Amino acid sequence: MAKNPAVGATGDQSSWRELFAKEDWWAVWIGLGLVIVAAILFANGASLKWIAVTPQKWSTLDQVGKQFADNALRYLALFALWLVLLGIAVRTLGFRLAEFVPAFVVVFIVSALIYALGAWDQASRYNLEPPLVALVLGLLVSNLLRLPAWLQSGLRVEFYVKTGIVLLGAGFPFVLILWAGPVAIGQAAIVSLVTFGVIYFTAVKLGLDRRLAAVLGTGGAVCGVSGSIAVAGAVGAKKEDAPIAITLVIFWAIVMIFLLPFVSKALGLPTGVAGAWIGTSEFADAAGLAAAQTYSGFAGQGGITGTPEASVQAFTLMKVIGRDVWIGVWALVLSIIATTRWESNGVTRRADPGEIWRRFPKFVIGFLIASVLVSLAAKGLSYDAYKKTVTPELVAPLQGLRNWAFTFCFLSIGLTTRLRDLATAGAKPFYAFTAGVIVNVILGYILSTIVFVDFWQKLGQPAP
Amino acid sequence: MNLSAATQRSPAARSCAACSHFRSDPRELEASIPGLRSFGSGYASVRADDGLCTVHDRYLSAASFCASFAERPGVTAQNQRNAS
């Protein structure tokens, strides 16, 4: 296999190489590249909508078959677009194209079938929401069959979700981020600090090592697997600590993908409110987006108010802006505490504020720039004009591409989660993490549905 | 290189990033940390350049250092090229 170009590089050289050696940056290049091309086409009276084809509502198999036949060239072009963009990225990251190309063919075809199933007019009656179908199908296949090794190259959960989030920025008015960001950060700060405290102190009380307690706490409170792995490195945790936390994050993240949307539905929560709760109480971006996107499909059913987009928007504000961007700060603070207050682990390191930037999830930059670009493209237009021109010609095609990226992600989650391969967590870590999960879910519910309910409800109301 | 020369270097030059006991290749990490690929990634920015130390059996920042440092072959030449 080809070596990753970042490995072994040092100092400034590493900083530059990171631009092409991390998935975050590739998500920015691909997502922003598509947004810029879409904006240029829009400014010249054209659109990306021909290539951003998506399955439309259908009732009979004949209809869906005809849809695919009539649009075969568009689907082929879309496949080629994704293959080229993602292929350049994964090749630079060190994967073999001989493995990635056949793997992505499988991912694209199965994603297209799942996407089309979600467009069936009876899909919601049978709870066949695409994120859930992709997840369950992937889990069944990966746990009942042995997948060929080459398929793994095409199952890049984080890469797909980050690319999708950058594209999501295009449908996210920048003023909305400015308006809602501070509330999201405030709510997330309360929940993150309390959840971390509960997990950390429960773990220490149960006799677990402080470094493991911190890794568990960050996984539950900040950003799941990414939080655990970042803090494991920052505090110099034992080799087995991160896998323990990862097992617990995966277990609870999958439980919450099903629990949060269906409990929210049973309670009749508006889409914006449910999205905020999911963003507060899910543990990973990919899992939370699966739950939030599932809930967007419930909009209008059984008295559920709010726009379909609001659940994904509220989730993104809470999880990405409210929680993810702070991982570098958590890592820096915990590394200082680890080196100054905890028992030595035989290794020395100096606290470095540069850690905040190094660990910053760079795809968030792409998300923000995409939001600014589309907001500038729509500047000066009335709401009616925005709906008549910007939405169908600029935003909708980018939303279509975003949904493709998310479907690749949801399928990859299931196909990469082999339960028997996960580390054994043990009873004490499970108790500590679960205590945090319980507090997190209850506190997230109170903050989203009582304390800040007016705010999150307003987010989901259609503009006048 | 001899031990005295290694210990005279700056901590940065003796850090895990340049140590032969340090494993930070993202694909190797994804293979050795169960579940990392499911909801995370070895190629994510949040991981920075952290990796596994085969001496201490710990997951460490690339900027860490210890008495067991052993320079990875090729690092000296690369550092000299960078300096010149």
Q: Which residues pair with B19 in a beta bridge?
A: B71
For position B9, what pLDDT does the model report? 60
B4 touches chain A (CB under 8 A): no
Q: What is the mean pLDDT of residues A13-29?
A: 88
- Residue A316: C-alpha distances to residues A1, A12, A158, A326 (Å): 35, 32, 15, 14
What percent of chain B clears pLDDT 90, i.e. is strictly above it?
65
Of A24, A238, A345, the CB nearest to B44: A24
Query: For residue A349, is pLDDT > 80?
Result: yes
Q: What ranges in A124-240 are assigned the alpha helix state H?
A: 130-144, 157-168, 174-205, 210-218, 224-235
Segment B48-76 mean pLDDT: 90
Q: What is the pLDDT of residues A131-146, one digit of tens each?
A: 999 999 999 999 999 9
Which chain A positions have a beta carbon within 8 Å of B84's beta carbon?
Answer: none
Shortest CA distance from A13: residue in chain B: B82
Q: CA–CA separation, B66 vs A453, rounded Å?
A: 51
DSSP string of A354-379? HHHHHTS-THHHHHHHHHHHHHHHTT
Worst-scoring range by mean pLDDT, A36-50, A306-320, A339-353, B19-33? Answer: A339-353
Q: Give me the pLDDT at residue A2, please.
A: 41
Has residue B51 got a pLDDT over 90?
yes
Residue A65 lies in a domain: yes
Instruction: Tell me which chain A residue has its CA closest to the CA of residue B54.
Output: A239
Closest among A299, A316, A22 to A167, alpha carbons compared? A316
Residues of B in contact with A155 (CB under 8 A): 37
Does residue B34 register a pLDDT over 60? yes
**pLDDT tier at A4 (50, 70, 90 boundaries)?**
very low
The minimum CA-CA distance between B25 and chain A, rounded to whole Å, is 6
* pLDDT for A331 beyond 50: yes
Identify all chain A residues contacting B60, using CB atoms and an 8 Å cutoff. 233, 236, 347, 349
Please give the pLDDT value at position A422: 87
A-interface mutation test, from B9, B39, B53, most A Cβ less than 10 A away? B39
Encode pLDDT of A419-455 as tens digits.
888 888 889 999 999 999 999 999 999 999 999 999 9
The answer to whether A35 touches A398, Cβ cutoff 8 Å, is: yes
Is residue A296 assigned to a domain? Answer: yes
Q: Cβ(B14)–Cβ(B6) under 8 Å?
A: yes
CB–CB of B33 and A243 under 8 A?
yes
Which pLDDT does position B83 carry in this prediction? 47
Instruction: Return the C-alpha torsion angle B2, B6, B7, B12, nearest 10.
Output: -170
* Residue owning tokens 């659940």: A311
The mean of the pLDDT values for chain A is 92
- Domain contains A428: yes
Q: Which of residues 12-51 of B touch A (CB under 8 A)?
A: 12, 17-18, 24-27, 33-41, 43-51
Specify the pLDDT at position B80. 53
Of B38, B61, B79, the CB nearest to A349: B61
Question: Is A79 in contact with A106 (CB distance < 8 Å)?
Answer: no
Query: Which residues in chain A have Cβ-Cβ distances shorter than 8 Å to B75?
Result: 8
Asked if the Cβ–Cβ distance from B48 to A359 is below 8 Å, we say yes
Chain B hits for A416, CB-CB cut-off 8 Å, are 37-38
Report yes or no on A63 lying in a domain: yes
Distance of alpha carbon A387 from alpha carbon A390, whole angstroms: 6
Q: Which residues of A touch B11 (CB under 8 A)?
A: 348, 350
Chain A residues with CB inside 8 Å of B44's CB?
22-24, 158, 226, 229, 361
Residue numbers in A near B56 (CB within 8 A): 345-347
The CA distance from A138 to A155, in Å, is 11
What domain count does chain A have? 1
Asked if the structure places residue A6 within a domain, the reply is: no
Are A221 and A227 in contact by the 8 Å Cβ rule? The answer is yes
Q: Model confidence over A54-73: pLDDT tens digits?
A: 999 999 999 999 999 999 99
State the pLDDT confidence band at A14, using cuts at 50, 70 and 90. low
Size of interface A-B (CB pairs under 8 A): 193
The parent domain of residue B8 ranges over 3-63+72-83
In this structure, what are the phi and psi dihedrals at residue B60, rounded to the nearest 5 degrees?
A: -125, 155
**Confidence (pLDDT) at A343:** 87
pLDDT score recorded for residue A350: 84
Here the ipTM equals 0.90
Q: Which of A95-104, A229-238, A375-384, B3-12 has the lowest mean pLDDT?
A: B3-12
**How many domains, in total, are found in chain B?**
1
Could you list the residue range(s) of the whole structural domain that residue A293 is in? 11-459
Instruction: Establish if A333 belongs to a structural domain.
Output: yes
Facing residue for B36 by CB, picked from A156, A225, A234: A225
Kindly identify which residue of chain B lies nearest to residue A138, measuring between CA atoms: B38
C-alpha pair distances (Å), B81 with each of A10, A103, A217, A400, B22: 12, 39, 42, 47, 22
- Residues from chain B contacting residue A413 (CB–CB below 8 Å): 38-39
A358 to B53: CB separation less than 8 angstroms, yes or no: no
What percentage of chain A reaches a pLDDT higher than 90? 82
Residue of A nearest to B68 (CA): A347
The answer to whether the Cβ–Cβ distance between B66 and A347 falls below 8 Å is yes
Render pLDDT for A154-202 as a digit per residue (tens, 0 to 9). Answer: 999 999 999 999 999 999 889 889 988 899 999 999 999 999 999 999 9
Q: State how far residue B70 is from chain A, nearest Cα, in angstroms.
A: 14
Distance from CA of A402 to the nearest CA of B (A): 18
A364 in a domain, yes or no?
yes
Tell me if A167 is assigned to some domain: yes
Strand partners, A238: B58
Q: Which of A187, A462, A121, A205 is nearest to A326 (CA)?
A: A187
The Cα A207–Cα A201 span in angstroms is 10
- Please tell me the predicted confidence (pLDDT) of residue A60: 96
Residue B3 scores a pLDDT above 90 = no
CB within 8 Å: A238 and B59: yes
pLDDT digits (tens, 9 = 90+) for A256-285: 999 999 999 999 999 999 999 999 999 999
Q: Which residue of A has its CA nearest to B80?
A: A10
Q: How far apart are CA A368 and CA A363, in angstroms?
A: 9
pLDDT at B76 (0 to 100) = 59
pLDDT recorded at residue A5: 44
Does residue A91 carry a pLDDT above 90?
yes
